[in-house]
Amino acid sequence: MQIVQEQICFGGRQIRYQHDSKVLNCSMQFSVFLPPQAKEGPVPALYWLSGLTCTDENFSSKAGAQRVAAELGLALIIPDTSPRGEGVADDEQGAYDLGLGAGFYVNATQAPWHQHYQMYDYVLHELPNLVEAQLPLTDKRAISGHSMGGHGALVLALRNPERFVSISAFAPISNPSDCPWGHKALGAYLGSDRQMWAHYDASLLLMSKGCSLPILVDQGAADNFLTEQLKPHALEQAAQQAQAQLTLRMQPGYDHSYYFIASFIEDHLRFHAAHLR
């Protein structure tokens, strides 16, 4: 882990790191906020997964999460959204919803994506092992994300509930097996077998596996992607069938932007802090 950039923020440290990822077979950057309490000893962490076209810097610079994280003593771990670098496959047409910036937090099985696009294993294992070995962090983790990242947060925690204490999401892609973004990405990364897609579909996972973890989802009612791409009510129906602890809040007038995230990030941080304690 090499420090690329560092600032003092609300008495804590906002740090951007670079490291060589064995899982992704490339160099990766990620951001960390360490609250002031980390000076005294290990603190729990919230992992944040960003959405399409984003890097680790979108959340760290736009969400305004550090003030509350500093108050609560929460570290923020913010990975990039895909592998990057020379030789990493990208969409030939330069599409925003496939390739660089659009890893969808899956382990790709199809060429040419499978050489680098193993974001599921990276977020689940390699990155936590790295930061928990080298930074003052406990092994208590929560996970959250936005849009594609909300999809990733839900899938990772639903499949691995022992790794996290709570889940939240902003405008997640809740049912990718049944939306254009999901058809395109899962078809490219995983192939045409829809049984493979089901391993990365939060609504299908929740219906089949249930979930013992508390889940908070905020969705803007004025989100342009709501009906065609996000489908939060599929997640709600799955939670009802599984008797899961899902709170879905439809927020009137809010869209898909970071203004929406900044408006409710404090609620999510306090939600996770209550369970991380």
- Report, as residue numbers or ranges, the catalytic residues: 147, 223, 256
List of long-range contacts for 265-269, beta carbons under 8 Å, 24+ apart: 265/63, 265/64, 265/65, 265/68, 266/68, 267/216, 267/218, 268/144, 268/168, 268/170, 268/216, 268/218, 269/46, 269/65, 269/68, 269/69, 269/72, 269/74
How buried is 54 (Cβ within 10 angstroms: 0-12 exposed, 13-18 middle, 19+ buried)?
Answer: buried
Please choose, from the candidates 144, 20, 137, 27, the residue with its C-alpha nearest in 3D space to the C-alpha of residue 78.
144
* CA pair distance 246, 240, nearest whole angstrom: 8
Contact 254, 260 (CB under 8 A): yes
Edge-to-edge strand ranges of the sheet holding 26-34: 2-9, 12-21, 26-34, 75-79, 43-49, 137-145, 167-170, 215-220, 246-251
234 CA to centre of own chain: 19
